[in-house]
Structure 1
Amino acid sequence: MSTIEEKSAIEKNKQVVIRFNEEFFGKGNTDITKELLAENFYNHSAPPNAPTDASPMVKFVTGFYSGFSDISVQIQDIFGEDDRVCVRKTLTATHSGEFMGKPATGKKLVTTIFDIEVLKDGKITERWNSTDFPQVFQGL
């Protein structure tokens, strides 16, 4: 691939990741996983003993949207190289309903999230994730 083709492919991959964040995390649209995640998607950051497909992510987002309101995802940084896209984002929300057994507190949640996504043919095939969500959630 030429340098121009490589840059174009990287930009397309970034757009897929941005769209996934806007739809899945920003709007709670779990159906977007069928369009933007590959059939063999592998979540390297799945909880212990959980499936490594998208199902734990879908379950989390569904529960999150029932326990939080005013949800916003802001991408702070996005970088791409070869088939990988790295994102640093901030998620804000208000704890307005029960989530993970914890009753609503009305407090604002602000958490930082780092993702590395691997893409092939316009779909996300692998994902690594790091967040301070557990610590932030305990403080609500």
Structure 2
Amino acid sequence: MSTTDENVTTTHRYFDEVVNGGKIELLDDLMTPDYVMHGGSLGEHVGLEAYKAFFAAAANGGAFTGMHVEVLRVLAEEDVVFVHFTNSGTNSGEFMGRPATNTFAKWNGTALFRFTEDGRITESTYVEDVLDMINQLG
């Protein structure tokens, strides 16, 4: 059974190595095959393979380039880890029906991760301040 500290470590690995480092291959170790992402403006992705396809598409010519997540605060209890972060990047492609502005934006977000007993992420819910981001893009 995983501990709260191990779940926090896995969460940091996800942001540091996968999101910021682009190591999509680590998702097989960090997440369950039936992983579900509830992503607000990013949509819902059911199953690890669907999430990997979404992640790869976003990393290769998505709406933003140079994306970087900075973890600001982590709170954890039992099988749940909550993260407050900033997300940033340059709007280089269409986003929510709006053309690219080539403008850099930085906005706040939160994520709630739920873990299995073996310490893998099985579900996440993201909420990001898209209004602030769109205001910055003009």
TM range (shorter): 0.7 to 0.9
Alpha-carbon deviation of 1:22? Answer: 1.5
Task: State the partner residue of 1:4.
Answer: none
Report % sequence identity: 21
Task: State the partner residue of 2:104.
Answer: 108
Gaps of 5+ in 2: none
Q: C-alpha root-mean-square deviation of aligned residues, in Å?
A: 3.0
Q: Tell me how many residue pairs correspond in the alignment.
A: 133
Q: 2:90 aligns with which of 86, 90, 94?
A: 94
Gaps of 5+ in 1: 2-7
Q: 2:122 aligns with which of 118, 125, 131?
A: 125
Letter in 2 for 1:117: F
Paired with 1:41 and 1:60, the residues of 2 have a C-alpha distance of 13
Task: State the partner residue of 2:27.
Answer: 33
Alpha-carbon deviation of 1:133? Answer: 2.8
Letter in 1 for 2:77: E
Letter in 1 for 2:19: F
Q: Secondary structure at the match of 1:88?
A: strand
* Higher-Rg member (1/2): 1
1:11-63, Cα deviation, whole Å (9 max, x unpaired): 11001011111223213333222221111212244679854224257425632
Letter in 2 for 1:77: R
Q: Is 2:65 the counterpart of 1:82?
A: no
Contact persistence 2:36–2:45 (CA under 8 A): no
Alpha-carbon deviation of 1:65? Answer: 4.8
Paired with 2:43 and 2:72, the residues of 1 have a C-alpha distance of 31
With normalisation by structure 1, the TM-score equals: 0.75
